[in-house]
Copies of this chain bind each other. A is one copy, B any other.
Amino acid sequence: MKNFTYQNGTKIIFGKDTELQVGSLLKEYTNKVLFHYGGGSIKKTGLYDKVVRSLREAGIDFVELPGVKPNPRVSLVRKGIEICRKNNIDFILAVGGGSVIDSSKAIAAGVNYNGDVWDLFLGTPIKHNCLKVATILTIPAAGSETSSGTVITNEEGLYKRSTGHPKLRPIFSIMNPELTFTLPKYQTSCGIADMFAHIMERYFTNEANVDLTDRLCEGTMKAIIENALRLNNNPKDYNARAEIMLAGMVAHNGSLGMGRIEDWASHDIEHELSGIYDIAHGAGLSIVFPAWMKFVYKRNINRFAQFANRVFNIDININNLEETALAGITALENFFTEIGLPTRLSHVNIDDSHIEEMANKLVAHREHAGNFIEIRANEASQILKLAL
């Protein structure tokens, strides 16, 4: 186990009707917020009205900035920064999924930065003060509700890049599983692939002697699988929605990575994919991750066999661990398929025409991706070909 530092002070307010507390919770910190959200869905479901009423009741003034799209754009972030500066806003309320929260964090990071916010996604460290962020989560997926990171897409060149800082962790996050009842099946499943991938990025490590976090990762993946299959049958199963929502938070609050060297190559490769093709991040991950696994499993067959055995209940073939390891990868693909996700580029009509471009962009601002095995352009290209 590696030495590590861990801190995550985000307050979770979890359960039915908790969104009604947003005004009184905010009142402890501020009298004015940027109310940042996506499109019409929170208006259709009535969440918008509930939030506005709660803000008004608590006497919280707000400026609205709707329009966040999946794979959130730096142009809207720049607009948000201008609004906050002009209106002296020091707190952002994000109501939505990971894209809205990430957009909010980027605005929070950019307001007091003396330069273009995109710099912060290209390596300039965040040393200045950031605005505070709180969230009402509507899509369990990104884990951004308690994480310190944000991922933004720059439309010029279609680069998708991340940054992060502990001060970008939300002050509080409201999580009501009922708010996810109306999520379409595909979007639910994309969220499940995203949280599952967040765990696997931590699970596949060369660091030895990480028994406890192995078990926590495995247990979280098992709970996700069980409850994802329940949602397949009944999307309004409160208990299954609650388990998935909680799992999305646990998957990315940092606790599953304590003492481990994390990987993140699959995420980085997927960012190139959704940067160019604008597919859902979760769908990109359900395609890229199995391909990455096939490319790297020989580096640590024991770990992949353990994954197969403990997460998918596959018996270990002691005389042929490779068989067990491969069965685990197949089981993961079957799980993704069962919940309606693509597992090949061809399933989303992507051919090989941009593979070299994506592979080269992957290393445009970094030496390599990943840690389990270092992934450079050549390796990325092979992984993407395995995903065709």
Interface residues of A (CB under 8 A from B): 1-16, 18, 208-209, 211-216, 218-220, 222-223, 226-227, 239, 242-243, 246-247, 250, 255, 258-259
Contacts and interface: CB of A to CB of B under 8 A. Distances in A.
B9 A7 contact: yes
Contacts of A211: 223, 226-227, 243
Nearest to A241: B1
B259 A246 contact: yes
A241 to B, nearest CB: 10
Contact of A2 (B6, B15, B214, B255): B15
Contacts of A242: 1, 209, 259
Contact of A15 (B4, B213, B226, B239): B4
Contacts of A7: 9-12
A243 B209 contact: yes
A15 B3 CA distance: 4
A258 B16 CA distance: 14
Contact of A219 (B10, B14, B218): B218
B219 A215 contact: yes
Contacts of A213: 246
A212 B247 contact: yes
A344 B153 CA distance: 63
B1 A246 contact: yes
B250 A212 contact: yes
A11 B9 CA distance: 9
B6 A12 contact: yes
Task: Give how many copies assemble into the complex.
Answer: 2
A248 B195 CA distance: 26
A194 B219 CA distance: 22
B222 A215 contact: yes
Contacts of A227: 211
A255 B246 CA distance: 11
A168 to B, nearest CB: 15
A79 to B, nearest CB: 32
A212 B259 contact: no
A147 to B, nearest CB: 15
B8 A9 contact: yes
Contacts of A239: 1, 208-209
A13 B5 CA distance: 5
A3 B10 contact: no
A121 to B, nearest CB: 26
B5 A14 contact: yes
A223 B247 CA distance: 20
B223 A219 contact: no
Nearest to A177: B1
Residue among A223, A226, A227 with most chain B CB within 10 A:
A223
Contacts of A10: 7
B220 A1 contact: no
B5 A212 contact: no
Contact of A14 (B8, B11, B13, B259): B259
Nearest to A14: B4
In the A-B complex, the 6 residue pairs with the closest CB atoms: A3-B15, A9-B9, A215-B219, A209-B239, A7-B11, A212-B223
